[in-house]
Structure 1
Amino acid sequence: MARVVAGHAVPVLAVAGGTASGKSTLADALARHHPETVGLLHLDDFYVPAHDPRRGVRTLSATGAETLDWNHPGSIDETAVAEAVDAMAAGGHRLVVVEGLFALTLAAVAHRATWRVYVDTPDDIRLARKLLRKIEILGQDPRISLLNYLASGRERHAAHVAPSRARADLVVDGTADEYTMIAEVLTLIGPVLAEPVTLADHPVHAGQFGETA
């Protein structure tokens, strides 16, 4: 369903996928190649405060500390998401892209989405990308990530993310480069983004740590 602003329908593209699947790479590329027309929202920016025990879903980390469950949709401030999507739709964009683990799961996004895309990447590749990112960017002990994955991450993906693949209008290969993924998405969204994507010498792959969740 497109948001109607000033008499014009502003379409919303929801992009979901597992952690390190390539969804952020795809969404960021769309915004980067079409900066004048695409508004981008990352659901990672809408988690409830991690220090507030009264909000969100809590879990025990492999470190033994109770933390916010980043892999559960109940940890997202859905009201804030809805307000942000509507505000961006009113901001003069031709397309609003909402990206995140739960972009096809949260009602606040799903009910506003004109099109739904799922970025599909094998679990072993996603896990390898995540571990490399944790090591290279955050300097985190990969043992912690692996223990958390085995304790809850794998289960949460199976329960809250993977099933949303069936709701997608388009499933794209998250192991492809950004231009291949964009080309596939353009077959779905049609003339909304009229200007062509200009190829560069070094296209970005999702494995180059551009992913968020």
Structure 2
Amino acid sequence: MEKSNQPIIIGVTGGSGSGKTTVSRAILNEFSGHSISLIEQDSYYKDQSNMSFEERLKTNYDHPLAFDTDLLVEHLNELIHYRGIDKPVYDYEAHTRSKNSVRQEPKEVIIMEGILVFADKRLRDLMDIKIYVDTEDDIRIIRRIKRDMEERGRTLDSVIKQYLSVVKPMYHEFIEPTKRYADIIIPSGGENQVAIDIMCTKIASVLENKLNYKNKLQD
């Protein structure tokens, strides 16, 4: 299948709490009338059901090896060829993959969002547009504390300990270096409306070119 006849894949990355989810949602809202979907890399954390709960707590969730990237690549290739997938669901309180899954049908635009989606060349090679959301460390940790306590049942002490021992060093070792692969860098995350507007204009242009190509094939 020619690349121009495949779905458009938009990669969105940045550190934890950078605002990459806000940016991804902004794209979804802007193109809500189109065939568009969002795939979160977090859904592809490895299944740890064979480990005790105490062992799961020791997992470095900000390291590339924490993700089942092989499965994510496989699923993206299925979607690229317009075949549906059963997307895994991750249970943040149990620290392992849920037994449930979510049916994901193919769409014309796929947003792939996560902290390490640029870290693997196989994923980068599938992307048409690569976006890096760049936000200062202090803002990111405040957002992470709020999210993990409200949505994931974590204590303040556990969030701070995890951030200082794992999240921050992994960000500087694995995430920030992938900024060099970005086509677009958005400072200040989801609060940078000007950058989001420019980004959406670019995506609209890519969509228009794709539609024109399909129309030519049908003529």
TM interval, shorter chain, is 0.7 to 0.9
- Structure with greater helix share of residues: 2
Q: How far has the Cα of 1:178 moved from its partner?
A: 7.3
Q: How does 1:34-113 map to 2 (within 5 A)?
A: 34-35=31-32, 36-52=34-50, 66-91=57-82, 93-113=107-127
Name structure 1 gaps, 5 residues minimum.
54-62, 195-213
For structure 1, which segment, 106-115 or 96-105, has the greater mean C-alpha deviation from structure 2 after superposition? 106-115
Aligned AA (1:68): T
Q: Sequence identity, in percent?
A: 21
| Residue equivalent to 1:21 | 18
What do the CA deviations read for 1:68-91 (whole angstroms, capped 9, x no partner)? Answer: 221011111111111221222233
Aligned AA (2:18): S
Q: How many angstroms apart in 2 are the aligned matches of 1:52 and 1:189?
A: 42
2:162 corresponds to 1:148: yes
Aligned AA (2:20): K
CA contact (8 A) 2:28 2:36 kept: yes
Q: How many angstroms apart in 1 are the aligned matches of 2:80 and 2:147?
A: 32
Q: 1:33 aligns with which of 27, 30, 34?
A: 30
Q: How many angstroms apart in 1 are the aligned matches of 2:204 and 2:31?
A: 14
Change (3 A) 1:178 1:39: farther
Three-state SS of the structure 1 residue aligned to 2:22 is helix
Q: TM-score, normalised by structure 2?
A: 0.73
Q: How many angstroms apart in 1 are the aligned matches of 2:78 and 2:194?
A: 30
CA contact (8 A) 1:15 1:119 kept: yes
Q: How many angstroms apart in 2 are the aligned matches of 1:65 and 1:133?
A: 20
Q: How many angstroms apart in 2 are the aligned matches of 1:79 and 1:31?
A: 26
Aligned AA (1:136): E
Name structure 2 gaps, 5 residues minimum.
83-105, 209-219
| Residue equivalent to 1:12 | 9
2:198 corresponds to 1:184: yes
Q: TM-score, normalised by structure 1?
A: 0.75
Change (3 A) 1:41 1:65: closer
Three-state SS of the structure 2 residue aligned to 1:117 is strand
Change (3 A) 1:66 1:176: closer
What is the total number of aligned residue pairs between the two structures?
183
